[in-house]
Structure 1
Amino acid sequence: MSKDHKTLIRPEGLPGSASWPVVTPIMPSVVYASETPDALDAQYEGRVEGYTYAREGHPNAEVLARRIDALEGEDGGLVLGSGMAAVTAVMLGILKAGDHVVGGDQLYGRSLRLMTQDLPRMGITTTLADPCDAAAIAAAIRPETRMILVEVVSNPTLRVADMEGIARVAREKGVLLVVDNTFTTPRAYRPFDHGADIVIHSVTKLLAGHSDVTLGYAVARDAGLQKAIYDFAVTTGMTPSPFDCWLAERGLATFDLRFDRAEQNAARLADHLGTLAGVKRVLYPMRGDHPDAARARAVLGNRGCNMLSFELHGGREAANAFAAAAEGIAFAPTLGDVGTTLSHPASSSHRALTPEARAAIGISEGFFRVSVGLEDSDALADVFSRAVAAAETA
């Protein structure tokens, strides 16, 4: 740079170096400069690669997307501002008024709201059906059905979908199969290996793993569908934060280790809860008493994931006593942290449902979901034993 430019606020370029950073730099720039209008045209027309405006893509998002692409076995994925941004971009980027969607009847609460309240306002009709029964999904298909949305393991009741049967229905009917793989992650299940057309993640959860980012991810096997998702996300400003992308990339470096340790803890905690008199039932996919135990083995192999749910004897009073006595366990509507967190669906994720609607899917006032973390498993067992005892005396 010449001395004539020493007073410029934005001098061109970065210091030269024969070496390079080991860690991906955080690149928060909103805008990227081009040499000429012709050079900018070349970028927009795809003749050269480059960045223009962060809403259309930035380096930290692309680095993170490529890391998740590798886990899911696909290319061209998109990182968005949240998990629900990913769900919304897939739905509204692809669907149009007059289309019909079939969704699992135990989707995440906000996904259920999108299905039952928001999509119908836009002329997109929806039907909810039991994902554990492929015949129920097939029966819900109409001539105008364009898409099926399911979670491999449901939130929060941990039912295991009949993924083989649903994939067969989608293939036979010519309907897109969209899989929310947040709970299972590609460590336990890779949807594209089993017939999925689109995969969604809330990166906020297990992939990032530290409760300090809010991000989503969506990838379609078909390039045209991926372009539609991208265009909608860019138009509506679902831009992810470069800093959050950087944090999530850092989290991915330990993802396998975190997942395996948390999964081991979850299996041990589930078995321990099953021995406590104050616990009415325990839901963990690898337990023999799980309602979908055989299917869980077929779908997940030996991967039980880090999530478990259980139900206390008693109602809200017992739930309050349990949460208050669970010392050191964060009572918070989240999952996937390095520490164990406790969630009460009736007062958080599924509070918008009527008590009758919650009861229909097995959620009572004494029902809790646990995202098991990396603590010592014996210490976790002690905390939960004391909390269950407190609930019994409530």
Structure 2
Amino acid sequence: MKFATKAVHAGYDYHGHQRALMPPIYQTSAFAHDEVGEQLDFAYSRTGTPTRAVLEANLAALEGAAHGLAFASGMAAVDAVLRATLQPGDEVIAVADLYGGAYRVLTKVMAAQGITVTFADLTDAANLAPLIGSNTKLLWLESPTNPLLNLVDISALSAVAHQHGVKVAVDSTFATPYLQNPLQLGADIVVHSATKYLGGHSDVLLGLVAVSDSELYKAIKFIQNAAGAVPGPQDCFLTLRGIKTLALRMERHCDNAEKVAAFLQTHPAIEQVFFPGLLAHPGHELAKRQMRRFGGIVTVYLKDNSRAAASRIAGKLQLFMLAESLGGVESLVNHSYTMSHGGMPPEQKAALGIRDGQLRLSIGIEDIDDILADLAQALAD
């Protein structure tokens, strides 16, 4: 069964749901027992619901995994993975230019619990081995990274990590399962903020995790149930509905992003364009090997490297709305310095190349002529 078919059908058997064509929303907090001690597939909705089970099975199929787990948000999924794999005294090595929310949970939450965090430039896989010590237990990757769209070689880094007994987790939100499957590249865990492309309509908050190792699954499942950061059935339903069109939407996102990147590359108001589909991108060849296409995010440095310039252009845009998120059908613009990475210290942002005069564009599925016209008018003097 190919991807687009899995997206529509995987994880759902209508025979078990009164032959409902679509997975029903089980809006209940508990399920009735017929007798004391009866073992039910579903008993209490924090532990599981039929709606959530369909979503978790669907994700597992899309990622080629044995198991899927759903959480109340992408950050709840990140937190559960970290708690399931790390103990006080352990170390996690993380790619340096990662999402600001992940940076915050690593430096403020995990570090306060005795976890050592090391951030590293892993665009060269050779940088990893010298960093691994006896307490290193987890390698945390993003590819492409947020917001500068750097790529890391998941296969090469996973091989090095596994030689030292280190587990590998990959936040693959920007790529989605349609463009990249980290488990098939050697990773142990893949995490998605389904709030983004998987849901796809900017109307749901949800996180997903996929694993194949049964012990890892049990550990993360324990955190999911014990801590209870789980999504409600309505959010699971909306995410399932969004996933059904993921293949179609991602093709349009990618088509439009390629045209936007080409347009901006020659625009006099733009200093630099970050997009893996460009030949000049340092990760272009890796993206061709590791991804099926190049994604729907384009980040730019403005020649006027000021917050005022970024604010002026964002304010002039008509189709692009200024918002924290990405991956919806609508085009969005994000000022990473104050929004997605607002909680990162200024010196860290400077070291990573996150500037005030920078904008991250989430390219929607609108007509490309309208998108380009909007960018042209906003960038005009």
Tell me which interval the TM-score lies in, with the shorter structure as reference length: over 0.9
Q: Which amino acid aligns with 1:310?
A: V
Which amino acid counterpart does residue 153 of structure 1 have in structure 2? P
Superposed, 1:338-377 pairs within 5 Å as 338-377=329-368
Q: 1:120 and 2:111 equivalent?
A: yes
Alignment-derived partner of residue 122 in structure 2 = 131
Alpha-carbon distance in 1 for matches of 2:22, 2:283: 43
**Equivalent of 1:162 in 153, 172, 175:** 153
Aligned partner of 1:10 in structure 2 is none
Mapped to 2, the partners of 1:20 and 1:171 lie a distance apart of 45
- Identity over the aligned pairs, expressed in percent? 36
Q: CA deviation at 1:384?
A: 0.5
Matched, 1:176 2:175: no
Q: For the Cα contact (< 8 Å) 2:169–2:190, is it kept in 1?
A: yes
AA paired with 2:26?
Answer: M
Q: Distance in 2 between matches of 1:154 and 1:186?
A: 16
CA distance in 2, matches of 1:22, 1:352: 44
Rounded Cα–Cα distance in structure 1 between residues aligned with 2:242 and 2:322 = 22
Unaligned runs of 5+ in 1: 1-16, 44-49
Equivalent-residue separation in structure 2 for 1:60 and 1:238 (angstroms): 16
**Contact 2:85-2:137 within 8 A present in 1 as well:** no
The 2-side partners of 1:310 and 1:152 are apart by 18
Secondary structure at 1:37 match in 2: coil
Deviations 1:115-174 (A, max 9, x none): 122111111111011121212222221111111010121000000112222112112111
Distance 1:294 1:18, change over 3 A: closer
Which is worse superposed, 357-366 or 153-162?
357-366
Shift of 1:275: 1.7
Structure 2 counterpart SS, 1:150? strand
- Partner Cα separation in structure 2 for residue 202 and residue 358 of structure 1: 22
RMSD of aligned residue pairs (Cα, Å): 1.5
Greater shift in the superposed pair: 355-364 or 343-352: 355-364
How has the CA–CA distance of structure 1 residues 159 and 26 changed in structure 2, closer, same or farther, with 3 Å as cutoff? Answer: same
Residues 1:309 and 2:299 aligned together:
yes
1:80 to 71, 88, 92: 71
- 1:7 aligns with none
For 1:129-278, list aligned pairs within 5 A. Answer: 129-278=120-269
Question: In the alignment, which residue of structure 1 is the partner of 2:328?
Answer: 337
TM norm structure 2: 0.93
Partner of 1:54: 45
The residue type paired with residue 348 of structure 1 is M
Cα deviation 1:94-119 (Å, max 9, x = unaligned): 21111111011011101011112211
* CA–CA distance in structure 1, aligned partners of residues 377 and 189 of structure 2: 43
CA shift at 1:361, angstroms?
Answer: 1.1
Aligned residue identity for 1:319? A
Per the alignment, do residues 347 and 267 of structure 1 end up closer, same or farther by CA in structure 2, a change over 3 Å counting?
A: same
Residue among 372, 375, 378 paired with 1:384: 375
Q: 1:324 matched to which residue of 2?
A: 315
Write the deviation string for residues 13-60 of structure 1: whole angstroms up to 9, x where unpaired.
xxxx99722121111100101111131xx34xxxxxx11111001111
Would you identify which runs of 4 or more consecutive aligned residues in structure 1 move more than 4 Å? none
- Residue type of the partner of 2:117? T
Deviations 1:298-342 (A, max 9, x none): 2225x1011110111111111111011111211001011001111
What does residue 19 of structure 2 align with?
A: 20
Number of residues of Structure 1 aligned to a counterpart in Structure 2: 365
What amino acid maps onto 2:368 in structure 1? S
Q: Distance in 2 between the 1:285 and 1:230 partners? A: 34
Question: Is the CA contact (8 Å cut-off) linking 2:95 and 2:122 kept in structure 1?
Answer: yes
Q: Secondary structure at the match of 1:256?
A: helix
Aligned to 1:46: none
